Amino acid sequence: MSKEKCKKKEKDAFDSIISIVLKKILLLLKKKVGKMKYKFSELIDIEEYQNLSDKFTKFTKVSTAMIDFEGNVLTKSGWVDICVKFHRANPGTFKRCLKSDTILANEIEKGKKYQTKEGKKYHIYECENGLTDVVFPIFIRGEHVGNVFIGQFLLEKPDINYFKKQAKEFGFDEKKYLEALANVPIFTEEEIEEKMDFLLTLAEMLGNSGYGKLNLLETNEELLAVIKTKEKMYQKAITDGLTGLYNHVFFQKSLLKEIKHTKRDGLELSLIFLDIDNFKSVNDKYGHQAGDKILKEVAKISKRMIRKNDIIARYGGEEIVILLPNTNFENGYQFAEKLRMEIEKTMFVTVSLGISNFPQNFNDLFLKREEIKEELIKKADAAMYYSKDNGKNQVTKYRDSIKS
């Protein structure tokens, strides 16, 4: 059987399982709520909303699903492998899913345990398989017509031993299971609240304008424009206006995030500081506009040479920082050397670079993330100044003999 057919068969099987699960959830609600005057699928353009859901998932990494009271999965996006390939594919863990789904359905109907944010109700629950989900109802003109689910995420770093035990208990391939776990997104409660607020607002807008598909289509187009506008505003907020690189604030947040991942997964993280040699002299001799052009060109070359997952930002002035996740000290140094040579070859200026590494430059591996961040920056900066003070146009790996 071809890979395409295998994937299609796997997808069809999963869709069938999801349909069964969600029908069981909605059955409890349907018995109590009774027949709805309107079917949700009659009030919205499903294809357009699916596009919005896909874009939302792509932008936020959050899995979503919209279900009507017939148990029909109207839209879904971003379901993670640990649910698709393990929890809902194994009879034992699937039973846990059903149990959690039933509890959730009852909580929705009770209404007493809803968490409220600005008058909007939703319920957060933890599946017995260890992941977290959120559900909230959609009302149109006072009628409860469906529910939106987001989930398959974690609120904190997972207990690896718990999932190892679970893999053993249900016969999962431990390596593949933990790899799937590593891809489950982790959000803080604040981040979840932000995403929930957006989805709640989205559902409210759909409800208020959902009495005609044409009106709803127009609303969806407006929502898409809002999403694009927010994306543009977000990009503008994290981007340096001159170079087009990420700005200092985004770099600081990204460094903290990568340190967390590095410590969690037992990897290495390298940080490069780059400074244009004799930049003040260039500004004094040719003017600041010429200096700006040089800085932009150095940024352009540097950005072209990094990998997809690397992070490059303007640190300040003529300093550029490059964050290299999952990169050991030597490989980071080799990259920095290639970058230095490329700039020297293509421009009439040179650059001095310094590089630090976690955990190679640290004796204490149990420092807090903020402390590791500050030390990585200090050490890379010190190594860069060592390059400048010892002839410029070179790369220096931080070592203890260099004072940070």
H or E element that contains 116? strand 115-117
- Give the CATH number, domain containing residue 39: 3.30.450.30
**What's the predicted TM-score (pTM) here?**
0.47
Q: Quick one: what percent of the chain has pLDDT higher than 90?
A: 40
Q: Locate 189 and state its tokens.
A: 């409660």
User: Are residues 23 and 93 both part of a single domain?
Assistant: yes
Of 237, 267, 299, the one marking the end of a domain is 237
- The distance of Cα 150 from the centroid of its chain, to the nearest Å, equals 14
Band of the pLDDT at 404, cuts 50, 70, 90?
low
Same domain, 152 and 281: no
> Is residue 271 within a helix (H) or strand (E), and if so which, with residue range?
strand 269-276
Same domain flag for 34 and 176: yes
Domain boundary among 237, 261, 282: 237
Spell 251-284 as b/e; 16+ CB within 10 A means b: bbebbeebbeebbeeeebbbbbbbbbbebeebbe
Alpha carbon 203 to its chain's center: 22
CB atoms within 10 A of CB 209: 19
* In a domain? residue 403: no
Instruction: Check whether residue 121 and residue 69 sit in a common domain.
Output: yes
pLDDT in tens, 359-401: 999 888 788 999 999 999 999 999 999 999 999 999 999 998 8
CA dihedral sign, ordered 369, 370, 372, 377: positive
Residue 352 to residues 23, 248, 336, Cα–Cα distance (Å):
62, 20, 10
Whether the predicted pLDDT of 233 surpasses 70: yes
Q: Are residues 92 and 224 in the same domain?
A: yes
Is 65 in the same domain as 193?
yes
Instruction: Report cis status (omega within 30 of 0) of the bond before 359.
Output: yes
- Amino acid identity of residue 136, one-letter, is F
Query: What's the number of domains the chain is made of?
Result: 2
Tell me, yes or no, whether 74 and 127 share the same domain. yes
Residues 13 and 132 in one domain: yes
In sequence order, the 6+-apart residues with CB closer than 8 A to the CB of 8 are none
Q: What does the alpha-carbon distance between residue 233 and residue 227 come to, in Å, rounded to a whole number?
A: 10
91-95, 204-208, 227-231, 240-244: which is most confident = 240-244
Per-residue model confidence (pLDDT) at position 363: 85
CB atoms within 10 A of CB 34: 9
Mean pLDDT for 31-58 is 67
For the residues 128-147, what does the mean pLDDT come to?
Answer: 76
Q: Which of 104-118, 153-167, 190-204, 312-326 has the lowest mean pLDDT?
A: 104-118
Shared domain for 31 and 109, answered yes or no, is: yes
Q: What is the CATH number of the domain that holds 300?
A: 3.30.70.270
149 within 8 A of 196, measured Cβ to Cβ: no
Who's near 40: CB < 8 A, 6+ residues apart? 66, 68, 69, 74, 138, 140, 145, 146, 210
- Chain centroid to Cα 63, Å, comes to 11
Cα distances from 16 to residues 12, 23, 71, 84, in angstroms, run 6, 11, 12, 12
Residue 224: enclosing H or E segment and its boundaries? helix 213-237
Find out whether 206 and 219 touch, Cβ atoms under 8 Å: yes
Q: Residues 66, 53: contact at Cβ < 8 Å?
A: yes
Mean model confidence pLDDT for the chain: 80
Q: Which residues are catalytic?
A: 318
Range of the domain at 368: 248-397
- pLDDT at residue number 113: 41
- Least confident range of 2-11, 171-180, 336-345: 2-11
Place of tokens 């607002």: 201
Give backbone dihedrals phi and psi of 318, rounded to 5 degrees, phi first. Answer: -100, 15
Tell me which H or E stretch contains 322.
Answer: strand 319-325
Residue 30 has pLDDT above 50, yes or no: no
195 and 289 in one domain? no
